Structure formats: C-alpha cells, structure tokens
Amino acid sequence: MNPAETASSPAADFDHLDPVVASDIYARLDTIRSGCPVARSGRHGGFWLVTGYDEIRHIGKDGDVFGSYVEGLGAAAVVAGVEKQERAPLFEIDGKAHLEWWRVLQPWFTPAAAKEREEHVRALCRETIADFAARGRADLVTAYTQRIPPLVIGAMLGLNSRDCTALSRRVRALSNARDAESAQDAGDALGAFLRDQVRRRMTEDLGDMLSAIAHARVDGRRTRESEVLKFMFTMIAAGNLTTTDACANILVEVLDDHALRDRCAADPAYVQQVIEESVRHEPPVAATGRTVRAETELAGVALVPGDRVVIPWGAANRDPAYYPDGHQFRPGRDRPVPPHLGWGAGAHRCLGRHVARMELAVMLEELLAALPDLRWQPGAVVRRTYGVIRGVRAVDAEWTPRLSTRVLGP
C-alpha cells in the first residue's frame, strides 16, 4: 500500500474512463477540488486525481518529477502492433531527449507552416460539405467533424491523398466501432496500414514528417520501427480526435445560440475567440496522466516514485481561484494570467495548437458560409463523452438546402 493511502487520505471514488461521469463531470470535479486538490482514487490500480489549477500547472511544468509515460490510465489501444510498453518519440519522452524530438518536429508546426495548409483544409471542407449539403439535415459529427482532421494529420505526416483517404476510413471505422469485436477488426486493419507506411520510411527517406522520425538520431541512436509506429499512432490520435471533438464542442455552442452563430459567420476574429474559449471551457484533451519519478509533495500530499497521476485539464480551467465564472462560456473574456490549460502546460504543451486553431477556424467558417441557417433538429439531444478525450456523440443539425448556394451552385 502506498503510505499516502491511509484512512486520512483525501479519497475520491472517481474513474475518468467510466462514461457515467460525462454528464456532470465538472460538478464532480468541483466537489472533489473543494475537499482537496489532490485526491486518491482506487480505480485502475490506484491513482492521484489532481483538480487544482496551481497543482495541474506545476505537474505539467515539472518534467523531472512527473514523467510523461504512464501505464494503464489511457483508453486501451486495440491497434495491432502498437506496443503499450514502447515510448512514443516526443509524447512520452522527457528532458533533453524530448527537446531533441521537439527540434526535429517543430518545422511542421510553426504558425507559418499552419498558414500554408489553410487552402488545402478549405478545399477539404468544401468537398465534404458538398457531399451532404443537399440533404438538409445530418449528424455533423459523422458527416463533417470526423472527416477533415484525419485527412489533415495524414497529409502532415506525409501520406499521399489516396493514403490519407484510406487512413481516414480506417480511423473512422475504429472510432465508430460499436462493440469490442468490431473495434478489434478495425484496430487490426489500421495497425496493418500504419505498419506499411512506417516500414517504407524505415528504408527510404521521403522527406516527410514520418521519415524525419524514422531517420532521426536522438539520444545517440536511430529510432526503432516500433517507436516510429507508436509515434504515428499517437500523432494521429493527437491530431485527429482532438480537433474532431473540439469542432463538435464548438458546434454545440453555435447551435445553442443563433446570435453567436451569426457573429461567427460574419467575423473571423470572433471565431478565434470562440475557439480559444471553447478549448478553455470544454477542452477536448480532457484527462492525461503522468508517472511520479521522485519523492515529492503536492498540496500537502506525499507522492512517491511510481505513483500515477491523472490531470483533468478542464478542472484547472474552471478552478474558481482563477475563473470565478469558469462554468460560463464567454468568448472574448479577458486573457487570464496565467493562461488557461486547455493546450496543456510546460514542455509537452500542444505542439499542434497553431494547426488546430487554423483547422477549426476554417472548418467553422466554411460550414457557416455554406449553411448559414444551421440549427438543431427538433428533439436533438447533446450527449457528451469523457475519458482521455471529451466531445459529443452526435450533433444532429438541420438547415435550408436552398440557402446553400456556395457549395451547390454551378
């Protein structure tokens, strides 16, 4: 037993991977925080649940004590060939080697590199909208928010457009699997696809992101095939599920409030404020983890090496110490100092945030330009998800097809 797991430990019966927590997650986290910002959960073999802004930020920034590799607290990966024990370059590496990986990857993630992708993303959005605009109604998650991000991250990794389409199909099959058997089949198919892409780059430098990982020398050695595979899988998750869910979270606000919708359609600067506030209010990267590497204390609680920690970034963003009205969605709020943690904190802060902001802005702009009177279908229900990622299961919307001249016209 961890010495901290005594009768006097602050305890929280909390499982971030149990779908039941999704509906009232922030009320639950508020209650836990008001007891103690570092509480012990016995689920998944035991972990510390950290809910205070200061403590979460401290964990993000102290990579010497809080290592980024953690076992058993994420959603189980069912993708064939991706070894849980392997550490994904960049994502699960700390210290000097992390900085080396960051330097290898940074050229694909600058604001200028994001800007260069904008026209490609715009074209993808228009093509996708043209496929469903005439129907007058759709679940915008399956018809739209799930469709663009895999194509964008595939292109960033270096896949050609046919392979991007194949990747997108396989990723959606996995996301939409309804039972363990179909998830396993989809995972096997995705695993085989990823392995082919990786193997090609192990022998040939194609000048793309995947080749850069495969041919880098970090920590004085070449990358193993299994590491490149884990990197590819993790980068697809980082670039795809996040943006899919962020876009769906934003659409919920847009459909709830037609004045907000119309202002977004007219004012690109406001769209950026809406994106930033949504990432604060409903961060799609909901709860990631760390492993304690050295004895330390957090909010008076003793942590020992090997302890695992769950950091629900959204709990920091609603901590009343910094956000007295944190439960309100209020675009354009004064920029708080220190900033919200929806993009993370410290060395592992989101490298893809410039790409994500551009992608989300273009997705929203194109959708509202094509379907200006977008609204909820009567009786539509918002069912939120929670886990490593937070989004909504469906966005059942309708619109007047005849207004969709932008995509349906000659």
Which residues in this chain contact ligand HEM in the complex, by CB under 6 A? 60, 90-91, 102, 153, 156, 238-239, 242-243, 246, 279, 283-285, 288, 313, 342-344, 348, 350-352, 355-356
Q: What minimum distance in Å lies between the beta carbon of 350 and ligand HEM?
A: 3
Q: What minimum distance in Å lies between the beta carbon of 151 and ligand HEM?
A: 12
Place of tokens 């210290």: 95
Task: Kindly state the tokens that stand for 216.
Answer: 């880098």
Q: What minimum distance in Å lies between the beta carbon of 401 and ligand HEM?
A: 30
For residues 210 and 32, give the distance between their C-alpha atoms in angstroms, rounded to a whole number: 42
Q: What minimum distance in Å lies between the beta carbon of 145 and ligand HEM?
A: 11
156 or 164, CB closer to ligand HEM? 156
Task: Kindly state the tokens that stand for 291.
Answer: 């492993």
Task: Kindly state the tokens that stand for 304.
Answer: 């020992």
Q: How far is CA 181 from the centre of its chain?
A: 25
36 or 152, CB closer to ligand HEM? 152
Contact 171, 236 (CB under 8 A): yes
Task: Kindly state the tokens that stand for 379.
Answer: 């009786």
Residue nearest to ligand HEM (CB): 352
Q: What minimum distance in Å lies between the beta carbon of 339 and ligand HEM?
A: 12
Reported as type and span, the H/E element at residue 240 is helix 225-256
Q: Residues with Cβ < 8 Å from 123, sequence gap 6 or more?
A: none
Q: How far is CA 73 from the centre of its chain?
A: 16
148 or 183, CB closer to ligand HEM? 148
Q: What minimum distance in Å lies between the beta carbon of 203 and ligand HEM?
A: 25
105 or 407, CB closer to ligand HEM? 105
3-state DSSP percent of the chain in helix, strand and coil, to 5:
50, 10, 35
Q: What minimum distance in Å lies between the beta carbon of 59 and ligand HEM?
A: 9
For residue 398, list its beta bridge partners: 137, 375
- CA distances 208 to 115, 197, 311, Å, are 18, 12, 33
